[in-house]
A and B are shown apart, each in its own frame.
Chain A
Amino acid sequence: MKRKSFWSWIWLIIGMLYFILPLYATFDFSLRARKGVLSFLSYQNIFKDPNFWSTIRFSLVIAVFTIIVSILLVVPTAYWIRLRLPQLRGMLEFISMLPFVVPAIVLVFGLIRVFSGAPFFLTNTYFGTDALLVAAYVVLALPYVFRSVDTGLAAIDVISLTEAAQSLGASWSTIMFKIIFPNLKVAILSSAFLTLATVIGEYTIASFMVGIKAFGPYMSLIGQNRTYESSSLAIISFMVTWSFMGLIQLFNRGKADSGSLAGAR
C-alpha cells in the first residue's frame, strides 16, 4: 500500500513539474528586465502601455457581447430540443462540435469572403466588423456554451418544471425567465467564463478581422518585439484565465454543496 502511495506521489510531482517548470521559468524570466536584479519592471511597462488597456477593453467588450449572443441563442435552442425535439439532440451536439474541427483560419477567411461583398457589406464599417467578430466568436464558443447549457438542462427536470409552470398559468416568457434561466445560472456562468477566456486570448480571427485592436494580436506583437514584456504578458494572461477557472470552480462547488443537502429531488 505504502509502495503504491509512493509511486502515486512521484507521478504527481512529475506531472506538476511538467506544467509548473515552464511557467516558473517564464515568470522568472519576466522578472529579469532590469539587469542583475529581480523586478516587476516588465509588468510596469505593460500596465503603462495604453495599447494594453485599449486592447483588453476591446476584447472584454467583444467577449461580453459574445456571451450575451451565445446565451440567447443556445439556451432557448437547447431547452426546446430537450422539451420538444429530443430526437435532434444528437445532431445539435454534432453541430456544436464542428468549431473544433474547422480551423479558425478557414472560418475567418470564409466569413471575410462572404460578408465583404453583396448583399452583406459588414467589413466596410468598424461596427460591422466588430459584429462579424462577435458572430465568429459565437461559433467558436459554441462547443463550450452548448455543453455547459446542455449539462445544466440535464440536471433539472425540464419537462416537468415546464409543465408545472404551464399548469400554474405561466406563459413561455415567464417559464424562460423565471424558471429556466435562473436554474441554469451555474451552467450559464461556466459557459460565460469559458467564452471570456477563449475570446480574450484568441489570435487568428481577431488578427485578420480587427488586427491590433484586440488583445490576442497585441500579445503576439509584444511577443515579437519586447522580450521581457512578452513573458509578463503571458503570466498576466494565465492569471486572468485561471481567475475565470477559479470562479467556475467556486460556482460549481456552491451548487454541489446545495445538492448534497437534498433528499429526493
Chain B
Amino acid sequence: MAFLSLTNVSKVFGTTAAVEDFNLEVDKGEFVSFLGPSGCGKTTTLRMIAGFELPTTGKITLDGEDITYKSPNQRNVGMVFQSYALFPNLTIGQNIGFGLQVRKLPEADIKKRIDEMLALVHLEKHINKYPYQLSGGQQQRIALTRALAINPRVLLLDEPLSALDAKIRVELRLEIRRIQQTMGITTIYVTHDQEEALLISDRVVVMSQGIMEQVGTPANIYNFPASEFVAQFVGQLNLIKVTDVDLKKGTCLLAGQPVKFEQSSKITISDKPRLAIRPEELQIGTGAGRNALKGRVESVLFLGAVVRLRVDLGGELISADFFNERTRTLPRKGDDVVISFPEYSCWLI
C-alpha cells in the first residue's frame, strides 16, 4: 500500500478546474517532483496535500489515514516555501524550534533537535541570528531544517529554489536530495525547472493545465515522453514537418529527404505529422543505421559546454547539440553539412 495516495483528486476555483482527476501513489521515502509550467496545477496539488486547499472531489490518504479534510496543523506535514517564510521576529534557533514548542516538547529535547538540525546544514554558528541577517540560500536551508525538525510524515517543497541565484540553486538542490536520502523522508517537490526535477527525483509527474500528463522516472520521462507536451516541455526537441508518412514501413520524407523512424504506439500522431528528435541525438557525418540529411549551417551558437548548430534542411530548421571540445573545428555559417541520427532516436508526433 502506498504511503501517500491521491485518488481522483480535483480542485475547481469558480469555473476554472485547477486540477483534474489526479491519481498518484507515493512510496515511503520516495522523492517525487511535480513538474510543469505556471498554472498547471502543481502547487494547488501540493497545497491540497498540505491542507491549505480542500479538494473539490477525491481523497488523500497518508500512511493509511484519510487526511482529505484535516486541518493543516493536524497533518504533521513539513512545508518549505519559495519565500522561505521564516518568522522575522524569531532567531534561527527559535524558528527551528517553533514546531517543537507548539508540540510542548521538553526544552532539553528542543535544544538537542535544534543543534542536530543546524549541524545537518552546517549553520551551527548562526543559531542566535535573525533571518534577515542570513543570505537567501542560508535562509532556505533554515526553512528546510525547520520543516524537518518536527519529523514530518511528508516533506513538501513549493519551488524552494526559485528565489535563489543559479549557483546557490545548483548547490542547494543537491543538498536537499542528500538530506532527503539521509533522513529517508517522503518528499514532494514542486518545480517548473526540468533540470532540477530530473536531477533530484526518483519519479517525476509532468503536469499541464491541471492534468497529469505522465509519471515516471526521470530517464523514462525524458527518453520516452508519453505526449507531445511532455516531449516539448522536458528537454529540447526538434519538431519538423514531414510528408509521405508510411507507418507500416516506418518511413517519411523530411524536406524531401528520406527518413526512417521507430514509432512508439503510446503517442498518437496528429493530422500534420512532425518528426521529433532531441538535438543531442544528431551528429555531423554519417554512419550505419543512421538517417543522413543534407543541409546548410544557418548559425553556430556557443553555449559553453555545448555548441548548438542550426541547420537549414531546405526550408526546415533543425538544431543539433555537440559537446564543446577545445580542438574541434566547428562548421561555419553557410557551410554545407551532412547531419545524421539513429533511426530509433526519432519518432512521429
A residues touching B (Cβ–Cβ < 8 Å)? Answer: 156-157, 160-161, 163-171, 174, 178-179, 182-183, 185, 258-259, 261-265
Contacts and interface: CB of A to CB of B under 8 A. Distances in A.
Contacts of B163: 264
Interface string B74-116: 1111110101111111000000001100110000000000000
A183 B79 contact: no
B73 A157 contact: no
A168 B150 contact: yes
A156 B51 CA distance: 22
10 shortest interchain CB distances as A-B pairs:
A168-B99, A264-B136, A262-B132, A164-B85, A160-B85, A167-B79, A182-B89, A166-B72, A169-B102, A166-B73
A20 B232 CA distance: 71
A164 B79 contact: yes
Contacts of B83: 157, 160
A37 to B, nearest CB: 54
Given A166-B73, A179-B89, A264-B163, A258 B99 contact: no
A185 to B, nearest CB: 8
A261 B133 CA distance: 6
B15 interface: no
B174 interface: no
Given A168-B99, A168-B102, A171-B73, A163 B50 contact: yes
13 contacts: A156-B88, A160-B85, A163-B52, A163-B81, A164-B143, A167-B79, A168-B73, A169-B102, A170-B102, A183-B89, A261-B133, A264-B84, A264-B135
A265 B139 CA distance: 8
A265 B77 contact: no
B132 A161 contact: no
B150 A157 contact: no
Interface of B: 50-52, 71-79, 81, 83-89, 98-99, 102-103, 130-136, 139, 143, 146-147, 150, 156, 163-164
A258 to B, nearest CB: 6
Contact of A258 (B77, B85, B86, B132): B132
B242 to A, nearest CB: 48
Contact of B85 (A163, A178, A262): A163
A209 B253 CA distance: 94
B135 A160 contact: no
Nearest to B140: A264
A167 B88 contact: no
B139 A264 contact: yes
Question: Considering residues A258, A261, A263, which has the most beta carbons from chain B within 10 angstroms of its beta carbon?
Answer: A263
B77 A165 contact: no
Contacts of B88: 156, 183, 265
B132 A164 contact: no
Nearest to A172: B73
A178 B147 CA distance: 18
